[in-house]
């Protein structure tokens, strides 16, 4: 399955969601892009993702206009918030994005929870 993670700036939430989706399944080919991409990625996002052993230091925001959207099976509109002000707020945002990406993953593959 080919997934396009779409956000406005592709500098924080989108790259996080894409990285988590890649971790959830090797069957997913995941690309992140933005409608109005930032020049650089968010350095605090990189720091909190390294805490999850995910290295996004070399990531460069992409413009969705440079990507053939028809090449993807699904577009995931990633929830996006304004940049947090503290490291703890970034961690909370990371955890929120991780959960949202997992819910998307579960529904994409029609997975049921272990208790059902």
Which one-letter DSSP state was computed for residue 84?
P
Domain ranges of the chain: 2-108
Residue-averaged pLDDT of the chain: 90
Could you tell me where the beta strands, DSSP code E, fall in 1-116?
2-7, 29-34, 74-77
Residue 43, sorted as left (phi over 0), alpha (psi -120 to 50) or beta, turns out to be: alpha
- Evaluate if residue 97 carries a pLDDT over 90: yes
Confidence of residue 113 (pLDDT cuts 50, 70, 90): low
Q: Are 59 and 15 in contact (CB under 8 A)?
A: yes
Fold of the 2-108 domain: Rossmann fold (3.40.50)
Q: Give the model confidence (pLDDT) of 1-36 as tens digits.
A: 899 999 999 999 999 999 999 999 888 899 999 999
Backbone φ and ψ of 32, nearest 5° = -110, 140
* C-alpha distances out from residue 31 to 1, 10, 88, Å: 11, 10, 27
3-class DSSP state of 22: helix
Q: Hey, how many other C-beta atoms are within 10 angstroms of the C-beta on 11?
A: 23
What's the CA gap between 69 and 47, in Å, rounded?
Answer: 30
What's the CA gap between 15 and 45, in Å, rounded?
Answer: 9
């Amino acid at each position: 399955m080919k997934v396009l993670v779409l956000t406005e700036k592709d500098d924080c939430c989108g790259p996080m969601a894409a990285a988590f989706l890649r971790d959830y399944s090797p069957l997913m080919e995941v690309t992140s892009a933005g409608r109005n991409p930032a020049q650089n990625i968010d350095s605090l996002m990189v720091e909190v993702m390294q805490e999850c052993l995910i290295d996004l230091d070399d990531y460069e925001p992409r413009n969705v206009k440079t990507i053939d959207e028809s090449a993807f099976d699904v577009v995931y509109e990633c929830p996006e918030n304004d940049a947090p002000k503290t490291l703890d707020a970034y961690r909370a945002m990371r955890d929120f994005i991780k959960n949202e990406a997992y819910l998307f993953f579960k529904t994409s593959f029609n997975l049921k929870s272990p208790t059902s």
